[in-house]
Each structure stands twice: as structure tokens, then as C-alpha cells.
Chain A
Amino acid sequence: NAGVTQTPKFQVLKTGQSMTLQCAQDMNHEYMSWYRQDPGMGLRLIHYSVGAGITDQGEVPNGYNVSRSTTEDFPLRLLSAAPSQTSVYFCASSQLLGGGNTIYFGEGSWLTVV
């Protein structure tokens, strides 16, 4: 039972480098999203998607890009990493049944930008 799989689990980046956090789900969920968790800030929505080819911004989208070419995958790209992007990142997915659905999270990706 894979569920939502995120890679890598840990990453250290230098300021200015770019990287992609990978997310895949095997539950055929239409909805996928990325959150970041920071101390005292809870989980903040970065970007989300309600289907292949459809993405939208969340609460804190700046500095991140996403695309959704397949139902299964929803990668998060950091274009030019900054220390402020040091965080724990969670990918999540859900069915779309008219709203009010449980979202399932991956185990997280710990990113440090130095």
C-alpha cells in the first residue's frame, strides 16, 4: 500500500540552486497538493491541482512551480532556493467528490537551504 510517496526524504541545497521534490500517488486521486510546515506556522498550502493539466496557487506560492502532466504525479520545483525555503514539505492527495473529502499525506521531505 504505497499511498502518497515523496522523494527525497532529506535534501540540503545551497542558496540559488534549483531542485524538484517528487510526489506520486497510486490511489487515482484527482486532487493533489503541496504544503510546507514551519514552527508556529502550521501547514501552509503552496500549490494544488484538481486534475491533470490544472494547477492553482495556495497561500504561499512564491518561489515554487508545479505541473500536473499525469494523475499520479505532482512535482514541486524550487527555482532558486533561498534559506527561507528551509522547511518540511508534505504532499497530499484526495478524491474529488463534491468537496469534503479526506486528504492523505506523504511522509514529508526535509529541505535545508544553506
Chain B
Amino acid sequence: DQQVKQNSPSLSVQEGRISILNCDYTNSMFDYFLWYKKYPAEGPTFLISISSIKDKNEDGRFTVFLNKSAKHLSLHIVPSQPGDSAVYFCAASEGSGTYKYIFGTGTRLKVLA
């Protein structure tokens, strides 16, 4: 049973526009969420995170929104750049001593120049 789901396997966006990547989770005990970016033949790299006590976190062009009642989070990239083309994974952890980070299946973003 997939506890963290990314239902869109791929997304194409024009350069300069907004990219919105979505993630849903089923475990209400998750209290910390992260987004990772992965280029081919490289390890995932950390992008941005959000704690369940917040509903928004911003870092430059990247903003993560959390809707706990809907068990949904989204990553907004504005403006999108060709270098943002990568696979994006969302991850969740219960945090309170379990330290199990569960990842989604990933969304491949392609930013078109």
C-alpha cells in the first residue's frame, strides 16, 4: 500500500511559467514532508521541506503548500527554468522517533525552452 503518492508521472511546462507538482499521503501520522530533485545518474538532492505545523514554506522560486485536512502537498516552481527539468520526489516521515522516510513514485518535470 503506497503511503505517499504522486499521481502524475510526468509534467511538461513552458519556461517562465509555473510548475505545480502534487503529492498525496494516507498516513495521518506523517508530520514532516520533503521534496527532492533528481537528475539522471545522480543521487536525489534536497530541495525544500515543511513541517505539519505550517501550511506554506518558501525558498526562492520554490514554495511548498501543505493541506493537512486533504492530506495533500504541492510544490510550486515559479518561474520554471530548463535546469529544473528533473524527477521530483516527495517524502514524508512520522518524525516522532520512527525516522522512516517514505518516498513517492516521482514526477518527471520537463521545462520547455
Chain A residues at the B interface, C-beta cutoff of 8 Å: 4, 31, 33, 35, 40-45, 48, 50, 58-59, 90, 92, 94, 96, 98-100, 102-108
Contacts and interface: CB of A to CB of B under 8 A. Distances in A.
A99 B105 contact: no
Interface of B: 6, 9, 31-32, 34, 36, 41-46, 49, 51, 89, 91, 93-106
B100 A58 contact: yes
A102 B102 CA distance: 13
Nearest to B96: A99
B77 to A, nearest CB: 19
Q: Which of B36, B93, B96, B103 is most buried by chain A, counting CB atoms within 10 A of its CB? A: B103
Contacts, number: 69
16 contacts: A35-B103, A41-B105, A42-B105, A48-B100, A50-B99, A59-B102, A92-B101, A99-B93, A99-B94, A99-B98, A99-B99, A100-B93, A102-B46, A103-B34, A103-B46, A105-B43
Nearest to A100: B32
A90 B43 contact: yes
A44 B103 contact: yes
Q: Which of A33, A41, A100, A108 is most buried by chain B, counting CB atoms within 10 A of its CB? A: A100
Given A42-B6, A90-B43, A103-B46, A98 B100 contact: no
B106 A105 contact: no
Contacts of B103: 35, 42-45
B42 A99 contact: no
Given A42-B103, A45-B100, A103-B34, 7 more contacts: A48-B100, A58-B100, A99-B97, A100-B51, A105-B36, A105-B44, A108-B43
A98 B46 contact: no
